[in-house]
Amino acid sequence: MHPQLRAALEEDFVVVFVDVNTRRNRNRNSALQKRLGDPSRRFGIPAFVGFASPKFSPDIKSTQSLASPTDEEVGARFLVMLSQFAPLDRNTHRTNFAVEN
56: number of Cβ within 10 Å: 11
**What average pLDDT does the segment 5-28 reach?**
85
**What average pLDDT does the segment 32-43 reach?**
86
How far is 78 from 4, CA to CA, in rounded Å?
10
% of the chain exceeding 90 in pLDDT: 0
Answer whether residue 23 shows pLDDT above 70: yes
Could you tell me if residue 37 is left (phi over 0), alpha (psi between -120 and 50 degrees) or otherwise beta?
A: left
User: Does residue 66 contact residue 46 with C-beta atoms inside 8 Å?
Assistant: no
Whole-model pTM: value is 0.60
Annotated domain spans of the chain? 3-82
